[in-house]
Structure 1
Amino acid sequence: MTTFLPLLPVREDLYVLYRGPLASCNYDCPYCPFAKRVDPPELLRADRADLERFAGWVEATTDRRLSVLFTPWGEGLTRSWYRETIVRLSHLPHVARVAIQTNLAARTGWLAGADPRVAALWATYHPGQVTRERFLARCRELLGLGIRFSVGVVGLPDHHAEAVALRAALPPEVYLWVNAAEGHVYTSAEEARWTALDPRFGDSVRPHPSLGEPCHAGETAISVLGDGTVRRCHFIKTPIGNLYDGTWRAALQPRPCTNGLCDCHIGYVHLKPLELRDVYADGLLERIPAVWPQPATRP
């Protein structure tokens, strides 16, 4: 007599980009509208409560294979509740990845309590806000802890020399990305210089026409606000449901993009014609390509 084991349920993948009300930051980068913003205590309490509620939703939503990226307007890792939540979610069996965008100013020792197979960081180096050696010391701490991370810079002309030095100091397995600076038009020579540092700079250097294009956003990727409002992505403001009343489930469906252009990595990475999910694979949320060519010579 043959005994058949019960089939385990197939968990569908869902990428969740979460952004609570937190907007404070310890840096004052001139290209950022939230630089040195200070949140009042009541907003911080609200942000903490919202994040706790969201973490509870992640724990309870076991029928999906979830990947979570925190994209705060400010710096989240200076707040204990983001650190604690990343550790907490990293140990859930149905969470494939939990990552956060960070300036890497906060201490990293807390990551020793996280599952290094799940927790990851998307770190940005801001010359003028932190010394290169201090930033590199944080990177070395992450390497010692076995935490996956990428590092990057904004592609401003004044940042190029620091970016070159950073690339030279980092081990080759650490991916360094470059974001095109908003409003800056790159000459072909400038584009070539930055591409020598980041072979995928071409994805960022010019906006992607997106109107009517198919996108994973709203189908297998969603944007969530602190109150649970669900949008297709951060850049299309129309709500499609709410996380906490269950309406997000029926809202998930293929949709064409309604914006004319998409010029931010966390948006265009989901545009289907670009096939960037294949490029990044398991490193999608922390911005690490599965394979990337190393520069043959230092720029």
Structure 2
Amino acid sequence: MAPEARDDLYLLYRGPLASCNYDCPYCPFAKRVDPPELLRADRADLERFAGWVEATTDRRLSVLFTPWGEGLTRSWYRDTIVRLSHLPHVARVAIQTNLAARTGWLSEANPQVAALWATYHPGQVTRDRFLGRCRELLGLGIRFSIGVVGLPEHHAEAVALRAALPPEVYLWINAAEGHVYTAEEEQRWTALDPLFGDSVRPHASLGLPCHAGETAVSVLGDGTVRRCHFIKTPIGNLYDGTWRAALQPRPCTNNLCDCHIGYIHLKPLHLRDVYADGLLERIPVAWPLPAQPRPAHR
């Protein structure tokens, strides 16, 4: 990916899909089943969005799909990622996934553009099976990061996963919502993910300048454009063109920002410099970091 340009636009797309094949106790959408009419609407919305991406060639676009549920078990997300990955004006297309679905379809995608933000959920899938998916992605040449929710009961699995992954694969740790970390706990998780400090405490954001609403936007299935997922006020619509005039510098109106897909756009944090062309799939540009601690097998 070339250096960021003035016409770059990051789009975080979320359609109505909310179903998931996992039942993680820390997720409100666990084992949710979407009715057929919602799935049809989600598919139609995604097709419309993909058409818009194809037609919008005056911008260099980067797309991250952030479904409430699991998208890659649905053929239309797989097909759309392949489709968008071959467009010359699309710099990146990525999706958040539990990596439960098959991966062979990615052989049809452009590996320079398609990427995955994957999360390992102990208790939902065996480590060996999950690592098998990782090996498939490595064989296909697809960029991906792996994450774990930083709950105490996940630590041993996270250590084992880090030891089993090749050094070039970034393992990130998300601070668990509602969990207060002791200094010792923070140190243990930071030994696995040197960037855990960005996640462990919410970032004060009120009044701070943010790329959200300027060069990054949130898009809903009906085309509603918001500055980010966490500020609900619409600023335009993708399909009537009002999004163009809406793009402008804005200070954050929330007191705190505690989600990675939000705070990476806060300008004072300079996290676009940290992730660069790995911003959407959550891969630091300088990974592996110098002197990265490598935990031993346990």
Tell whether the structures are fold-level matches, with TM greater than 0.5: yes
Cα deviation 1:214-263 (Å, max 9, x = unaligned): 00000000000000000000000000000000000000000000000000
Cα deviation 1:35-70 (Å, max 9, x = unaligned): 000000000000000000000000000000000000
How big is the shift at 1:8? 15
Contact 1:11–1:63, Cα closer than 8 Å, also in 2: no
Contact 1:23–1:34, Cα closer than 8 Å, also in 2: yes
How big is the shift at 1:292? 3.7
Return the alpha-carbon distance in structure 2 between the equivalents of residues 61 and 267 of structure 1.
24
Secondary structure of the residue aligned to 1:290 is coil
Cα deviation 1:87-109 (Å, max 9, x = unaligned): 00000000000000000000000
Secondary structure of the residue aligned to 1:160 is helix
Contact 1:11–1:65, Cα closer than 8 Å, also in 2: no
Cα deviation 1:237-294 (Å, max 9, x = unaligned): 0000000000000000000000000000000000000000000000000000001455
- For this pair of structures, how many residues does the alignment match? 292
Return the alpha-carbon distance in structure 1 between the equivalents of residues 59 and 89 of structure 2.
7
Contact 2:168–2:288, Cα closer than 8 Å, also in 1: no
Map of 2:2 onto structure 1: 8
Return the alpha-carbon distance in structure 2 between the equivalents of residues 274 and 100 of structure 1.
23
Secondary structure of the residue aligned to 1:204 is helix
Secondary structure of the residue aligned to 1:11 is coil
Return the alpha-carbon distance in structure 1 between the equivalents of residues 66 and 158 of structure 2.
23
Gaps (5+ residues) in structure 2? none
Return the alpha-carbon distance in structure 2 between the equivalents of residues 8 and 110 of structure 1.
26
Secondary structure of the residue aligned to 2:168 is coil
TM-score, length of structure 1 as denominator length: 0.95
Map of 1:228 onto structure 2: 223
Return the alpha-carbon distance in structure 1 between the equivalents of residues 219 and 91 of structure 2.
18
| Root mean square deviation of aligned Cα | 2.0
Written as runs of structure 1 = structure 2, the 5 A alignment for 1:192-271 is: 192-271=187-266
Return the alpha-carbon distance in structure 2 between the equivalents of residues 251 and 61 of structure 1.
16
Secondary structure of the residue aligned to 2:50 is helix
Q: 1:279 and 1:8, CA in 2 relative to 1: closer, same or farther beyond 3 A?
A: closer
Return the alpha-carbon distance in structure 2 between the equivalents of residues 152 and 293 of structure 1.
15
Secondary structure of the residue aligned to 2:180 is coil
Sequence identity, in percent? 90
Contact 1:199–1:292, Cα closer than 8 Å, also in 2: no
Secondary structure of the residue aligned to 1:110 is helix
Return the alpha-carbon distance in structure 1 between the equivalents of residues 60 and 288 of structure 2.
30
Cα deviation 1:69-123 (Å, max 9, x = unaligned): 0000000000000000000000000000000000000000000000000000000
Contact 2:18–2:34, Cα closer than 8 Å, also in 1: yes
Return the alpha-carbon distance in structure 2 between the equivalents of residues 292 and 23 of structure 1.
32
How big is the shift at 1:11? 6.8
Contact 1:197–1:295, Cα closer than 8 Å, also in 2: no
Larger C-alpha radius of gyration, 1 or 2? 1
Contact 2:265–2:271, Cα closer than 8 Å, also in 1: yes
Return the alpha-carbon distance in structure 2 between the equivalents of residues 14 and 295 of structure 1.
31
Map of 1:108 onto structure 2: 103
TM-score, length of structure 2 as denominator length: 0.96
Q: 1:295 and 1:28, CA in 2 relative to 1: closer, same or farther beyond 3 A?
A: farther
Gaps (5+ residues) in structure 1? 1-6
Return the alpha-carbon distance in structure 1 between the equivalents of residues 203 and 143 of structure 2.
28
Q: 1:295 and 1:197, CA in 2 relative to 1: closer, same or farther beyond 3 A?
A: farther
Return the alpha-carbon distance in structure 2 between the equivalents of residues 46 and 134 of structure 1.
32
Cα deviation 1:157-200 (Å, max 9, x = unaligned): 00000000000000000000000000000000000000000000
Written as runs of structure 1 = structure 2, the 5 A alignment for 1:127-166 is: 127-166=122-161
Contact 2:277–2:285, Cα closer than 8 Å, also in 1: yes
Return the alpha-carbon distance in structure 1 between the equivalents of residues 288 and 137 of structure 2.
23
Return the alpha-carbon distance in structure 1 between the equivalents of residues 210 and 54 of structure 2.
27
